[in-house]
Structure 1
Amino acid sequence: MPITLSSIKHQLDSKIGENIMVVAQAGRKKVTRRKGVLRETFPAIFVVDLDQDENAFERVSYSYADLLTKSIEVKFGDEEVQAS
Protein backbone atom coordinates (compact mmCIF):
# COMPACT_ATOMS: atom_id res chain seq x y z
CA MET A 1 0.00 0.00 0.00
CA PRO A 2 1.48 3.37 -0.96
CA ILE A 3 2.10 5.87 1.82
CA THR A 4 0.09 9.08 1.51
CA LEU A 5 0.08 12.33 3.43
CA SER A 6 -3.27 11.41 4.98
CA SER A 7 -1.96 8.05 6.21
CA ILE A 8 1.03 9.80 7.82
CA LYS A 9 -1.35 12.27 9.51
CA HIS A 10 -3.51 9.37 10.73
CA GLN A 11 -0.44 7.67 12.27
CA LEU A 12 0.56 10.88 14.06
CA ASP A 13 -3.02 11.57 15.24
CA SER A 14 -2.83 8.46 17.40
CA LYS A 15 0.42 9.70 19.02
CA ILE A 16 -0.71 13.17 20.18
CA GLY A 17 0.61 13.91 23.66
CA GLU A 18 3.50 11.44 23.45
CA ASN A 19 7.21 12.25 23.69
CA ILE A 20 8.82 12.65 20.29
CA MET A 21 12.27 13.13 18.80
CA VAL A 22 12.59 14.76 15.39
CA VAL A 23 15.83 14.20 13.49
CA ALA A 24 16.18 16.70 10.64
CA GLN A 25 18.80 17.27 7.98
CA ALA A 26 20.20 20.76 8.59
CA GLY A 27 22.58 20.91 5.67
CA ARG A 28 25.61 19.05 4.45
CA LYS A 29 26.58 16.44 7.00
CA LYS A 30 24.62 18.31 9.68
CA VAL A 31 21.77 16.79 11.64
CA THR A 32 19.59 18.43 14.29
CA ARG A 33 17.80 16.42 16.96
CA ARG A 34 14.90 17.99 18.82
CA LYS A 35 12.99 16.41 21.69
CA GLY A 36 9.53 17.41 22.80
CA VAL A 37 5.87 16.44 22.87
CA LEU A 38 3.64 16.02 19.81
CA ARG A 39 1.02 18.68 20.55
CA GLU A 40 -1.30 19.04 17.54
CA THR A 41 -1.88 17.84 14.02
CA PHE A 42 -3.40 19.99 11.29
CA PRO A 43 -4.31 19.17 7.67
CA ALA A 44 -0.80 19.97 6.37
CA ILE A 45 1.49 20.21 9.42
CA PHE A 46 2.11 18.87 12.91
CA VAL A 47 3.32 20.86 15.92
CA VAL A 48 5.91 19.78 18.49
CA ASP A 49 6.28 21.56 21.85
CA LEU A 50 10.02 21.45 22.49
CA ASP A 51 11.89 20.64 25.70
CA GLN A 52 12.86 24.07 27.07
CA ASP A 53 16.06 22.74 28.67
CA GLU A 54 17.54 21.92 25.26
CA ASN A 55 15.99 24.50 22.90
CA ALA A 56 15.81 28.28 22.74
CA PHE A 57 12.27 28.36 21.34
CA GLU A 58 8.98 26.83 22.45
CA ARG A 59 7.62 24.95 19.47
CA VAL A 60 8.33 23.92 15.93
CA SER A 61 6.16 22.67 13.09
CA TYR A 62 6.87 20.25 10.26
CA SER A 63 4.87 19.22 7.22
CA TYR A 64 3.82 15.67 6.47
CA ALA A 65 5.67 16.07 3.17
CA ASP A 66 8.91 16.34 5.19
CA LEU A 67 8.27 12.81 6.47
CA LEU A 68 7.22 11.56 3.05
CA THR A 69 10.38 12.88 1.38
CA LYS A 70 12.51 11.68 4.31
CA SER A 71 13.79 15.16 5.13
CA ILE A 72 12.99 14.33 8.75
CA GLU A 73 12.60 11.21 10.87
CA VAL A 74 10.21 10.99 13.79
CA LYS A 75 10.81 8.66 16.74
CA PHE A 76 8.50 7.85 19.64
CA GLY A 77 10.62 6.04 22.22
CA ASP A 78 12.05 3.02 20.38
CA GLU A 79 9.46 3.19 17.62
CA GLU A 80 9.98 5.06 14.35
CA VAL A 81 7.29 6.36 11.99
CA GLN A 82 8.25 5.14 8.55
CA ALA A 83 7.16 6.67 5.26
CA SER A 84 8.25 3.85 2.98
Structure 2
Amino acid sequence: MAAKGILSAIKEDLDAYVGKKIRLKANRGRKKVIERVGILEKTYPNIFVVKLDEKKNSVRRVSFSYTDILTEAVELTVCREDGEVKICGNKS
Protein backbone atom coordinates (compact mmCIF):
# COMPACT_ATOMS: atom_id res chain seq x y z
CA MET A 1 0.00 0.00 0.00
CA ALA A 2 2.83 2.43 0.75
CA ALA A 3 4.25 1.96 -2.76
CA LYS A 4 0.91 2.95 -4.27
CA GLY A 5 1.00 6.19 -2.28
CA ILE A 6 4.51 6.93 -3.49
CA LEU A 7 3.53 6.32 -7.12
CA SER A 8 0.50 8.61 -6.80
CA ALA A 9 2.75 11.30 -5.26
CA ILE A 10 5.09 11.03 -8.25
CA LYS A 11 2.09 11.42 -10.59
CA GLU A 12 0.92 14.50 -8.68
CA ASP A 13 4.41 16.02 -8.97
CA LEU A 14 4.39 15.44 -12.72
CA ASP A 15 0.86 16.82 -13.17
CA ALA A 16 2.17 20.29 -12.33
CA TYR A 17 4.61 20.14 -15.26
CA VAL A 18 2.33 18.91 -18.07
CA GLY A 19 3.04 21.01 -21.16
CA LYS A 20 6.48 22.08 -19.90
CA LYS A 21 9.83 21.45 -21.56
CA ILE A 22 11.80 18.73 -19.79
CA ARG A 23 15.11 16.94 -20.09
CA LEU A 24 14.74 13.17 -19.99
CA LYS A 25 17.54 10.81 -18.98
CA ALA A 26 16.61 7.13 -19.29
CA ASN A 27 18.70 4.09 -18.48
CA ARG A 28 17.95 1.48 -21.14
CA GLY A 29 20.22 -1.20 -19.65
CA ARG A 30 23.65 -2.52 -20.63
CA LYS A 31 25.24 0.90 -20.11
CA LYS A 32 22.88 2.43 -22.66
CA VAL A 33 21.60 5.82 -21.48
CA ILE A 34 19.53 8.16 -23.63
CA GLU A 35 19.21 11.87 -22.97
CA ARG A 36 16.59 13.88 -24.84
CA VAL A 37 14.62 17.10 -24.50
CA GLY A 38 10.87 17.11 -24.99
CA ILE A 39 7.50 18.20 -23.68
CA LEU A 40 5.70 16.37 -20.88
CA GLU A 41 2.54 15.77 -22.87
CA LYS A 42 0.15 13.86 -20.60
CA THR A 43 -0.05 11.88 -17.38
CA TYR A 44 -2.25 8.82 -17.04
CA PRO A 45 -2.99 6.70 -13.96
CA ASN A 46 -0.07 4.31 -14.64
CA ILE A 47 2.15 6.03 -17.23
CA PHE A 48 3.26 9.42 -18.51
CA VAL A 49 3.98 10.47 -22.10
CA VAL A 50 6.82 12.68 -23.34
CA LYS A 51 6.76 14.17 -26.84
CA LEU A 52 10.31 14.29 -28.22
CA ASP A 53 11.41 16.53 -31.08
CA GLU A 54 13.82 14.19 -32.84
CA LYS A 55 14.12 16.11 -36.11
CA LYS A 56 12.42 19.13 -37.61
CA ASN A 57 9.54 17.19 -39.20
CA SER A 58 9.52 14.09 -37.00
CA VAL A 59 7.78 13.87 -33.64
CA ARG A 60 8.19 10.83 -31.43
CA ARG A 61 6.34 9.98 -28.25
CA VAL A 62 7.73 7.78 -25.50
CA SER A 63 5.97 6.56 -22.40
CA PHE A 64 7.28 5.48 -19.03
CA SER A 65 5.68 4.20 -15.86
CA TYR A 66 5.96 5.96 -12.53
CA THR A 67 7.83 2.88 -11.32
CA ASP A 68 10.63 3.79 -13.73
CA ILE A 69 11.10 7.02 -11.78
CA LEU A 70 10.87 5.24 -8.44
CA THR A 71 13.60 2.75 -9.46
CA GLU A 72 15.68 5.63 -10.90
CA ALA A 73 15.66 4.17 -14.41
CA VAL A 74 14.34 7.57 -15.55
CA GLU A 75 15.26 11.08 -14.39
CA LEU A 76 13.28 14.17 -15.36
CA THR A 77 14.51 17.75 -15.19
CA VAL A 78 12.42 20.85 -15.97
CA CYS A 79 14.12 23.23 -18.40
CA ARG A 80 13.55 26.83 -17.34
CA GLU A 81 15.10 30.12 -18.41
CA ASP A 82 16.61 30.69 -14.97
CA GLY A 83 18.11 27.19 -14.79
CA GLU A 84 17.05 23.60 -14.58
CA VAL A 85 15.13 22.01 -11.71
CA LYS A 86 15.17 18.27 -11.13
CA ILE A 87 11.63 17.08 -10.44
CA CYS A 88 11.95 13.31 -10.44
CA GLY A 89 14.69 10.74 -10.21
CA ASN A 90 17.97 10.89 -8.35
CA LYS A 91 17.72 14.06 -6.23
CA SER A 92 21.45 14.32 -5.53
Q: Same fold (TM over 0.5)?
A: yes
Counterpart in 2 of 1:81? 87
Task: Say yes or no: does 1:45 pair with 2:51.
Answer: no
What number of residue pairs does the alignment pair up?
A: 82
For structure 1, which runs of at least 5 residues remain unmatched after alignment?
none
Q: Deviations 1:2-39 (Å, cap 9, x if unpaired)? A: 87000000000000000011101122222101211001
Aligned-partner residue type, residue 31 of structure 1:
V
Q: Which has the higher contact order (CA 8 A, sep 6+)?
A: 1
Counterpart in 2 of 1:17? 19
Cα RMSD of the aligned pairs, angstroms, is 2.2
Aligned-partner residue type, residue 42 of structure 2:
E
Whole-Å separation in 1 of the counterparts to 2:88 and 2:17: 14
Identity %: 41
Residue 53 of structure 1: CA displacement? 1.7
Q: TM-score, structure 1 length as denominator?
A: 0.84
Counterpart in 1 of 2:68? 66
Q: Stretches of 4+ moved more than 6 A in 1?
A: none
For structure 2, which runs of at least 5 residues remain unmatched after alignment?
none
Q: Deviations 1:35-69 (Å, cap 9, x if unpaired)? A: 11001000000011111328x65201010000001
Counterpart in 1 of 2:29? 27
Residue 73 of structure 1: CA displacement? 0.5
Aligned-partner residue type, residue 14 of structure 1:
A
Q: TM-score, structure 2 length as denominator?
A: 0.78
